Amino acid sequence: MSPDAPSHREIHRTVRAAVLVAPDTFELRNLPRPAVTPEGGLVAVEACGICGTDLKIASGAVAAPLPLILGHEIVGRISELGAEAAARRGLAVGDRVLVESSLPCGTCNRCRDGDERLCAEKGGYGTRTSTLEPPGLWGGLAELVWITRASIVHRVPPSLEPMAALAVPLLANGIGWLSRAGGLRPGDRVLIAGCGPQGLAAAEAARIGGASEVVVTGLPQDSARLAFAAAGGSRPVVAQEGWSRAERLAAVGREFDIVLDVTGSAAAMAGAPDHVRAGGTFVMAGLLGSAGRVTFASDDLIRREVRIQPVLARKDAEVRAALALLDADPVLAARLASLTTHLFPLAQASQAIRAVHEQVPGFVKAAVLPGE
């Protein structure tokens, strides 16, 4: 990444951003700072979380429009806000906010039904909207992001610092995927396949929802993540390469009421239904990328009436629930804030994304701090 060197005058007119211009190729660019419209605004990014989707987009495994500012886990403070936007949103300059990744169209049947998550025409911060779309600031790996009428923005309670706020979408996903999609009930046994930050937050959601047992699986290199799971009361299991099906069932367990897969691995996803009880639910959340294909033993699933439920993202009510839970529970907020173990300045955004798979000692999650 080769940064430009803007003059002091240019700094006030431009916004620094790490722009993905080709697979695994970033440029630190200075983009024009847009004038705020009555319905628009600018958020000064305090922290942008990095996840496995960023890695897949950066490598080209998941298609996205280039050039693109990556980063869809965005926490910051309102820098400028148009009068109409301020009145409609009830926000003011200086408020800390969480910017959702989706930019729904607002007019399709899914949006009009209140399920903007499934909008087929939506844009997306750091995922679907290129810098070629004016005003260009559509990703969290930048000093500022643009918010428009379509943006979904949540005020963050004053009690939550940026790293805790970064965990809100993860916890909200866990709540939605397990409770809404999985039908979680008190006393259920839950298996979380995959111990990335999303899997670890889902384990917390399972505990909050009353699960009697939570098992979290990971790989031999995931020691820090599995230790985090164990500290929260989950049973960690290290998955071994070359396990037979019988060995896997013996080590992980079977007859789980809900199995949530967040591995991003086709092999792990194919084996996950083996652990679901008859009549239980298999929730699929891990994206595989364009080359991903999974084959299931359909006769077995039919005979056991295992329900397969793909999921995409949280609903608005689940975000509000996660915000309320962390606001009310400082211990939980601090625990989830500690998921972010490695911080990077904007100029090292590419290193932050590589850290997701390099698994440096003690690594759980990375975040970029564009203002530093």
Say if CB 54 and CB 126 are below 8 A apart. yes
Residues ≥6 apart with Cβ < 8 Å to 76 = 43, 44, 45, 46, 47, 96, 97, 99, 145
Count of beta carbons in the 10 Å neighbourhood of residue 108:
16
pLDDT at 3: 43
What is the sign, positive or negative, of the torsion defined by CA atoms of 194, 195, 200, 206?
Answer: positive
Q: All domains of the chain, ordered by start, with CATH? A: 8-167+340-369 (3.90.180.10), 169-310 (3.40.50.720)
Residue 335 and residue 232 in contact, taking contact as beta carbons nearer than 8 Å: yes
- Token pair belonging to 326: 């962390």
Can you tell me the distance from the alpha carbon of 185 to that of 206, in angstroms, rounded to the nearest whole number? 9
The pLDDT tens digits of the residues spanning 165-216 come to: 999 999 999 999 999 999 999 999 999 999 999 999 999 999 999 999 999 9
* CA 211/CA 330 separation, integer angstroms: 21
pLDDT in tens, 30-75: 999 999 999 999 999 999 999 989 999 999 988 899 999 999 999 9
DSSP 46-69: EEEEE-HHHHHHHHTSS---SSEE
- The CA-based dihedral angle spanning residues 299, 184, 253, 197, taken in that order and rounded to the nearest 10 degrees: 110
- 280 token code pair: 């239980």
pTM confidence score: 0.93
The whole-angstrom separation of Cα 316 and Cα 331 is 24
pLDDT at 52: 87
Q: Which amino acid is at 320?
A: R
Compute how many other C-beta atoms are within 10 angstroms of the C-beta atom of residue 310: 9
Residue 235 burial (C-beta neighbours within 10 Å; 0-12, 13-18, 19+): middle
